Structure formats: C-alpha cells, structure tokens
Amino acid sequence: MPELGAQIEKYLAELKRANASVHTLRNYASDLGQFLDYFTIKEKVTIEEIDLLAIREWLGHLHAQRLTAVSMRRKLAAVRSLFKFLLREGVIVTNVARLVRTPKAPKSLPVVMTAEQTNTLVEGVAADKLERPYPARDLAIFELLYGCGLRISELVGLNLEDFDFTERWIRVRGKGRKERQVPYGTKAAAAISHYLAEGRSSGALFLNHRGARLTDRGARGIVKFYARMITGDSSIHPHSLRHAYATHLLSDGADLRAIQELLGHSQLSTTQKYTQVSLTDLMAVYDKAHPKA
C-alpha cells in the first residue's frame, strides 16, 4: 500500500497541473504536511492505516492544540480533497474522510467598510501622494477589487486577453476553475486605460517590478500598505473590498441572485451573509434615529 507522504506529493503535483492558485497550493501543502507529521511521528504509515477513527483522533489533537473551528474545517477540507483524489486514482476504495463530521464554526459577520470609507481609500490611492513606483498599476488594482468584487487570486490571474474593452466585460477564472463574466465601470476602465498606456500588448495584466506576473502575496502587500497609510487601519485586506462591493450593491437594491453570479458563489447561502450585514446596519440606523428605539 502506498505511503501517505508519497501520495500527498502526487496530489499536490496534480493541483499544480490543474492551475490551482498559489494561495491554495501553499495552504494545502501546509495543512497536508501537518497531517502527515501527525501520523509519521514514529514511523511511516500507509493510506490503509488511516481509518475513520484515526482521522477523528487527528481532529481531537487539533482541538487540543486550541485551533479554531475555522482552521480545523480548512484542514479537514484539505484532507477530504486528498482522499477524494486517492479514490479517483484507485488508491483507496472508500473515502473515510467524507464520514467525519465537520466541526461547527461560530457564525460571524464580515466587518464591512462603508461606501464613504471605501471611496476615501480608493481616492487616496488615486491622489498618488505616497510616491509609490507604480501608482497607475496600484490604482487599477483597487478599482478592480472594489469595482468588480474579485478575489485576490482572480485579480492576479487576469490576462489582457480576458478583457472585452468595448463592452467592458472581464472573463474571470474563479474557484474550481469556474469561469464567469463580470462587468466593470467607467472608473475601472479609466484606471486600466491609464495603466496600459505605459506599454504592453499581451500577457498578464498586473506585473511586478521584475516584469513578471504580480503574485497574490505581492498584491496583498500593496493593498495593506495603502490601507495603513491612507486610513490607518491595518486590518483592511483585499477581501475587505470584495465584502464592500457585495454589501454596497445589496444596499443599493441589487438582486441577491445577481450578486451571487457576480461574486462567483456556488451557493446562495454564501451570498446571503451580506443580507445579514445590511440588516445589522439598518438596525444600527434604527436604534440611533427612531424615537421609540
């Protein structure tokens, strides 16, 4: 029976061939590496030795390490994906990881910037007072993150050929290699046009200082830098702009199903968390303004 470590290496190689994002590859390699370490402290083990009870004991170990339910769910998802791959490859006959109950995560609402806060941030980038080396590129990054609600991996994966500059549509490659079309507005169009005027006819949209494709880590660093310098809030990250995009669309009357399509959510329940954010905002307004509150 194949050893666990060798099978993990094969699975990660398969993910790489399937063009999984750098973020996904890094997380899966880390989580599966920890999974391997747990089972090979004393000696190498085979896949056959890891049954339902063993996986439950591993989760118990994570719980004892005081990991959050969210972290445990992510690690279990990586293990389930590995076992799904092994089942497909004929290495195992039963995916025991599927039978493990998923740890319940506490329900929490994303902290969302107001439209005024978001505009202050983006306009601060546009003002170009920080003397950054690539201000046109950086503004285009912010206009697409907020103007289209893209994930950071989707943003850095964009190529020039993905754009319909006449109709203002972008072909976006999301999770699970699913493609969707997302419209972009006049401000994003102007920012992209200004950025591309610096020269380049093909290839990746966003480049780093070496002329190679900008990585998601690099893009995260750019967003964090501007957020800290302009707003003083170091907690703002690229996904904050995606949350703002969805919440502001909903607040202005956009249909929830349409927002689901724009965000590339496979399930409506994922999108519905933004309705809870809006309701929370409405209650805050009510409590502050209504005389009987």
Catalytic residues: 151, 175, 239, 242, 265, 274
Q: How far, in Å, CA of 243 to CA of 250, rounded?
A: 11
CA dihedral sign of residues 176, 204, 137, 184: negative
Query: Is-contact 21 153, C-beta < 8 A?
Result: yes
Q: How far, in Å, CA of 208 to CA of 92, rounded?
A: 43
In Å, how far from its chain's centre is CA 160?
Answer: 21
| Residue 139, token pair as written in the block | 């503004």
Three-state secondary-structure class, residue 107: coil
Q: How far, in Å, CA of 8 to CA of 107, rounded?
A: 32
- Residue 79 makes CB contacts below 8 A (sequence gap 6+) with 31, 32, 35, 55, 97
- Strand (E) positions, 119-212? 163-164, 169-173, 179-183
Q: How far, in Å, CA of 288 to CA of 286, rounded?
A: 5
Q: How far, in Å, CA of 163 to CA of 180, rounded?
A: 12
Query: What 8-state DSSP symbol labels residue 205?
Result: S
- Residue 93 makes CB contacts below 8 A (sequence gap 6+) with 87
**DSSP code per residue over 177-221:** G-EEEEE--HHHHHHHHHHHTTS--SSBSSB-TTSSBPPHHHHHH
